[in-house]
Chains A and B, each alone.
Chain A
Amino acid sequence: AQKVTQAQTEISVVEKEDVTLDCVYETRDTTYYLFWYKQPPSGELVFLIRRNSFDEQNEISGRYSWNFQKSTSSFNFTITASQVVDSAVYFCALRFMNTGFQKLVFGTGTRLLVSP
Protein backbone atom coordinates (compact mmCIF):
# COMPACT_ATOMS: atom_id res chain seq x y z
CA ALA A 1 0.00 0.00 0.00
CA GLN A 2 1.09 3.56 -0.64
CA LYS A 3 1.16 5.28 2.70
CA VAL A 4 2.72 8.12 4.67
CA THR A 5 3.21 7.92 8.43
CA GLN A 6 3.85 10.90 10.66
CA ALA A 7 4.10 9.30 14.06
CA GLN A 8 4.51 12.55 15.97
CA THR A 9 1.07 14.00 16.55
CA GLU A 10 2.25 17.09 18.38
CA ILE A 11 5.61 18.53 19.32
CA SER A 12 6.21 21.41 21.70
CA VAL A 13 9.50 23.29 21.80
CA VAL A 14 10.81 26.55 23.14
CA GLU A 15 11.98 29.20 20.72
CA LYS A 16 15.53 28.69 19.39
CA GLU A 17 15.41 24.94 19.87
CA ASP A 18 16.00 22.69 16.87
CA VAL A 19 13.19 20.30 16.02
CA THR A 20 12.87 17.38 13.61
CA LEU A 21 9.58 16.23 12.15
CA ASP A 22 9.59 12.61 11.05
CA CYS A 23 8.03 11.21 7.89
CA VAL A 24 8.10 7.56 6.85
CA TYR A 25 6.56 6.44 3.59
CA GLU A 26 5.64 3.20 1.87
CA THR A 27 5.47 2.72 -1.88
CA ARG A 28 6.02 0.01 -4.45
CA ASP A 29 6.94 2.55 -7.13
CA THR A 30 10.48 3.37 -8.12
CA THR A 31 9.49 6.83 -9.34
CA TYR A 32 7.73 8.99 -6.81
CA TYR A 33 7.86 12.41 -5.24
CA LEU A 34 7.77 13.51 -1.63
CA PHE A 35 6.43 16.82 -0.41
CA TRP A 36 6.19 18.84 2.76
CA TYR A 37 3.39 21.35 3.28
CA LYS A 38 2.90 23.80 6.13
CA GLN A 39 -0.53 24.72 7.45
CA PRO A 40 -0.38 27.80 9.68
CA PRO A 41 -3.24 28.67 12.03
CA SER A 42 -4.91 30.63 9.21
CA GLY A 43 -5.58 27.29 7.53
CA GLU A 44 -4.07 27.51 4.06
CA LEU A 45 -1.60 24.92 2.80
CA VAL A 46 1.82 26.26 1.96
CA PHE A 47 4.10 24.21 -0.26
CA LEU A 48 7.60 23.86 1.24
CA ILE A 49 9.56 21.33 -0.77
CA ARG A 50 9.39 18.61 -3.40
CA ARG A 51 11.92 15.82 -3.67
CA ASN A 52 12.04 13.08 -6.32
CA SER A 53 12.91 9.47 -5.59
CA PHE A 54 16.16 9.61 -7.52
CA ASP A 55 17.63 12.54 -5.65
CA GLU A 56 18.79 11.69 -2.15
CA GLN A 57 20.74 14.85 -1.61
CA ASN A 58 19.81 16.69 1.52
CA GLU A 59 18.45 20.16 1.04
CA ILE A 60 18.79 23.28 3.13
CA SER A 61 16.73 26.41 2.80
CA GLY A 62 17.49 28.96 5.49
CA ARG A 63 16.52 27.43 8.81
CA TYR A 64 14.80 24.49 7.09
CA SER A 65 16.53 21.29 6.04
CA TRP A 66 15.32 17.98 4.71
CA ASN A 67 16.93 14.56 5.02
CA PHE A 68 15.78 12.00 2.44
CA GLN A 69 16.92 8.42 3.04
CA LYS A 70 15.56 5.75 0.71
CA SER A 71 17.17 3.00 2.78
CA THR A 72 14.82 3.80 5.66
CA SER A 73 12.00 5.26 3.52
CA SER A 74 12.16 8.49 5.44
CA PHE A 75 11.96 12.15 4.53
CA ASN A 76 12.53 14.07 7.73
CA PHE A 77 12.24 17.81 8.14
CA THR A 78 14.37 19.82 10.57
CA ILE A 79 13.82 23.38 11.68
CA THR A 80 16.89 24.98 13.19
CA ALA A 81 16.53 27.70 15.81
CA SER A 82 12.75 27.48 15.79
CA GLN A 83 10.63 30.61 15.98
CA VAL A 84 7.08 31.24 17.13
CA VAL A 85 6.06 31.78 13.50
CA ASP A 86 6.99 28.16 12.81
CA SER A 87 3.99 27.07 14.86
CA ALA A 88 1.80 25.18 12.41
CA VAL A 89 0.69 21.75 11.30
CA TYR A 90 3.15 20.16 8.92
CA PHE A 91 2.12 17.53 6.40
CA CYS A 92 4.32 15.10 4.55
CA ALA A 93 2.89 13.74 1.30
CA LEU A 94 3.74 11.11 -1.30
CA ARG A 95 2.98 11.49 -5.01
CA PHE A 96 2.92 8.37 -7.17
CA MET A 97 1.33 7.08 -10.34
CA ASN A 98 -1.92 5.17 -9.88
CA THR A 99 -3.38 3.48 -12.98
CA GLY A 100 -2.04 6.16 -15.28
CA PHE A 101 -2.60 9.30 -13.28
CA GLN A 102 -0.88 11.00 -10.42
CA LYS A 103 -2.14 10.59 -6.87
CA LEU A 104 -1.14 12.45 -3.73
CA VAL A 105 -1.38 10.78 -0.32
CA PHE A 106 -0.90 12.74 2.89
CA GLY A 107 0.27 11.81 6.34
CA THR A 108 -1.86 12.76 9.30
CA GLY A 109 0.26 15.79 10.11
CA THR A 110 2.42 16.93 13.00
CA ARG A 111 1.37 19.97 15.00
CA LEU A 112 4.38 22.04 16.05
CA LEU A 113 3.99 24.49 18.91
CA VAL A 114 6.85 26.91 19.44
CA SER A 115 6.58 28.93 22.60
CA PRO A 116 8.53 32.11 23.36
Chain B
Amino acid sequence: EAQVTQNPRYLITVTGKKLTVTCSQNMNHEYMSWYRQDPGLGLRQIYYSMNVEVTDKGDVPEGYKVSRKEKRNFPLILESPSPNQTSLYFCASSLDSGDVQETQYFGPGTRLLVL
Protein backbone atom coordinates (compact mmCIF):
# COMPACT_ATOMS: atom_id res chain seq x y z
CA GLU B 1 0.00 0.00 0.00
CA ALA B 2 1.32 3.41 -1.03
CA GLN B 3 1.72 5.53 2.05
CA VAL B 4 3.63 8.03 4.11
CA THR B 5 4.34 6.90 7.65
CA GLN B 6 5.40 8.93 10.64
CA ASN B 7 6.64 7.87 14.04
CA PRO B 8 5.85 8.43 16.75
CA ARG B 9 2.23 9.50 16.39
CA TYR B 10 2.18 11.09 19.83
CA LEU B 11 5.09 12.40 21.85
CA ILE B 12 5.38 14.21 25.16
CA THR B 13 8.82 15.50 26.01
CA VAL B 14 10.57 18.15 28.09
CA THR B 15 12.34 21.29 27.08
CA GLY B 16 15.84 20.67 25.77
CA LYS B 17 15.64 16.93 25.23
CA LYS B 18 16.60 16.14 21.67
CA LEU B 19 14.07 14.22 19.64
CA THR B 20 13.58 12.88 16.14
CA VAL B 21 10.35 12.32 14.27
CA THR B 22 10.75 9.86 11.44
CA CYS B 23 9.04 10.01 8.09
CA SER B 24 9.14 7.35 5.43
CA GLN B 25 7.44 6.94 2.07
CA ASN B 26 7.26 3.86 -0.13
CA MET B 27 6.34 5.56 -3.40
CA ASN B 28 9.86 6.46 -4.62
CA HIS B 29 8.92 10.13 -4.39
CA GLU B 30 11.54 12.80 -5.00
CA TYR B 31 9.96 15.55 -2.98
CA MET B 32 9.38 15.44 0.76
CA SER B 33 8.35 18.14 3.15
CA TRP B 34 7.56 18.84 6.78
CA TYR B 35 4.73 21.07 7.96
CA ARG B 36 3.50 22.15 11.32
CA GLN B 37 -0.13 22.90 12.04
CA ASP B 38 -1.15 25.39 14.70
CA PRO B 39 -4.61 26.72 15.55
CA GLY B 40 -5.55 29.70 13.42
CA LEU B 41 -2.39 29.44 11.33
CA GLY B 42 -3.09 26.48 9.07
CA LEU B 43 -0.15 24.41 7.89
CA ARG B 44 3.22 26.06 7.49
CA GLN B 45 6.21 24.52 5.79
CA ILE B 46 9.26 23.84 7.97
CA TYR B 47 11.73 22.21 5.58
CA TYR B 48 11.59 20.46 2.28
CA SER B 49 13.79 18.18 0.22
CA MET B 50 13.87 17.95 -3.54
CA ASN B 51 15.92 14.76 -3.56
CA VAL B 52 18.62 12.88 -1.68
CA GLU B 53 21.05 15.26 -0.01
CA VAL B 54 19.08 18.30 -1.24
CA THR B 55 17.19 20.13 1.48
CA ASP B 56 16.16 23.72 2.09
CA LYS B 57 14.31 25.88 4.56
CA GLY B 58 10.61 26.47 4.37
CA ASP B 59 8.73 29.28 6.05
CA VAL B 60 9.34 28.37 9.71
CA PRO B 61 12.67 26.48 9.96
CA GLU B 62 14.00 27.89 13.25
CA GLY B 63 14.68 25.19 15.83
CA TYR B 64 14.49 22.31 13.37
CA LYS B 65 16.92 20.23 11.34
CA VAL B 66 16.37 17.65 8.65
CA SER B 67 18.39 15.21 6.62
CA ARG B 68 17.76 13.22 3.45
CA LYS B 69 20.32 10.44 3.21
CA GLU B 70 17.96 8.03 1.50
CA LYS B 71 15.13 8.76 -0.88
CA ARG B 72 12.46 7.16 1.29
CA ASN B 73 13.31 8.79 4.64
CA PHE B 74 13.14 12.39 5.79
CA PRO B 75 13.51 12.70 9.57
CA LEU B 76 12.73 15.90 11.45
CA ILE B 77 15.13 16.68 14.29
CA LEU B 78 14.52 19.00 17.20
CA GLU B 79 17.91 19.46 18.84
CA SER B 80 16.59 21.41 21.83
CA PRO B 81 12.80 21.45 21.84
CA SER B 82 10.96 24.36 23.38
CA PRO B 83 7.29 24.73 24.37
CA ASN B 84 6.57 26.87 21.28
CA GLN B 85 7.30 23.79 19.20
CA THR B 86 4.27 22.06 20.63
CA SER B 87 2.26 21.38 17.50
CA LEU B 88 0.85 18.85 15.08
CA TYR B 89 3.46 17.86 12.52
CA PHE B 90 2.85 16.45 9.07
CA CYS B 91 5.25 14.89 6.65
CA ALA B 92 4.32 14.90 2.96
CA SER B 93 5.75 13.60 -0.28
CA SER B 94 5.13 13.95 -3.99
CA LEU B 95 6.61 12.33 -7.04
CA ASP B 96 8.31 15.23 -8.78
CA SER B 97 9.84 18.26 -7.14
CA GLY B 98 9.55 20.37 -10.26
CA ASP B 99 6.04 19.55 -11.35
CA VAL B 100 3.43 21.92 -10.02
CA GLN B 101 0.60 19.50 -10.71
CA GLU B 102 1.88 16.84 -8.36
CA THR B 103 -0.39 16.11 -5.43
CA GLN B 104 1.28 15.85 -2.05
CA TYR B 105 0.47 12.80 0.05
CA PHE B 106 0.43 13.40 3.77
CA GLY B 107 1.41 11.20 6.66
CA PRO B 108 -0.98 10.67 9.60
CA GLY B 109 0.55 13.42 11.71
CA THR B 110 2.61 13.53 14.92
CA ARG B 111 1.24 15.36 17.95
CA LEU B 112 4.12 16.81 19.95
CA LEU B 113 3.84 18.34 23.40
CA VAL B 114 6.92 20.01 24.83
CA LEU B 115 6.68 20.71 28.57
User: What band does the interface of chain A fall in when counting residues whose beta carbon is under 8 Å from B?
Assistant: 20 to 34
Contact of B100 among A4, A97, A106 (CB under 8 A): A97
Q: Cβ of A64: which chain B residues have Cβ within 8 Å of it?
A: none
| Chain B residues whose CB sits within 8 angstroms of the CB of A45 once the complex forms | 90, 106, 109
Kindly count the residue-residue contacts between A and B in the assembled complex, taking CB atoms under 8 Å apart: 62
B20 within 8 A of A: no
Q: Taking each of A91, A103, A104, which has the highest tally of chain B beta carbons within 10 Å of its own beta carbon?
A: A104
Q: Contact: B100 with A35, CB < 8 Å?
A: no
Q: Contacting B50 at CB < 8 Å: which of A52, A91, A97, A101? A: A101
16 contacts between A and B (CB under 8 A): A47-B105, A50-B103, A93-B43, A95-B102, A97-B98, A101-B31, A101-B48, A102-B31, A102-B97, A102-B98, A102-B102, A104-B45, A104-B92, A107-B42, A108-B40, A108-B42
Chief secondary structure at chain A's binding surface: strand
The contact size tier of chain B is 20 to 34
Residue of B nearest to A101 (CB): B97
* B106 & A44 in contact (Cβ 8 Å cutoff): yes
Q: CA–CA, A9 to B81, complex, Å? A: 29
Cα distance A71–B42 in the bound complex, in angstroms: 25
Which of B42, B102, B106 has most A Cβ within 10 Å? B42
Judge whether A41 is part of the interface by a CB distance below 8 angstroms: no
Q: Is B12 an interface residue (CB 8 A)?
A: no
Which A residues are closer than 8 A to B by beta carbons? 4, 6, 9, 31-33, 35, 37, 43-45, 47, 50, 52, 91, 93, 95-97, 100-104, 106-109
- Given known pairs A44-B109, A45-B90, A45-B106, the reply for A106 and B42 (CB within 8 Å) is yes
- Identify A47's interface contact among B35, B99, B101, B103, CB under 8 A: B103
Give 1 or 0 for each of B35-60: 1 = CB within 8 Å of chain A CB.
10000111111001010000000000
Is B88 interfacial (CB-CB < 8 Å)? yes
Find the residue from B88, B98, B101 having the highest chain A CB count within 10 A.
B101
- Which of B35, B92, B101, B106 contacts A33 (CB under 8 A)? B101
B104 located at the interface, meaning its Cβ lies under 8 Å from any Cβ of chain A in the complex:
yes
Q: Mark B1-45, 1 if CB is under 8 A from A, else 0.
A: 000000000000000000000000000000101010000111111
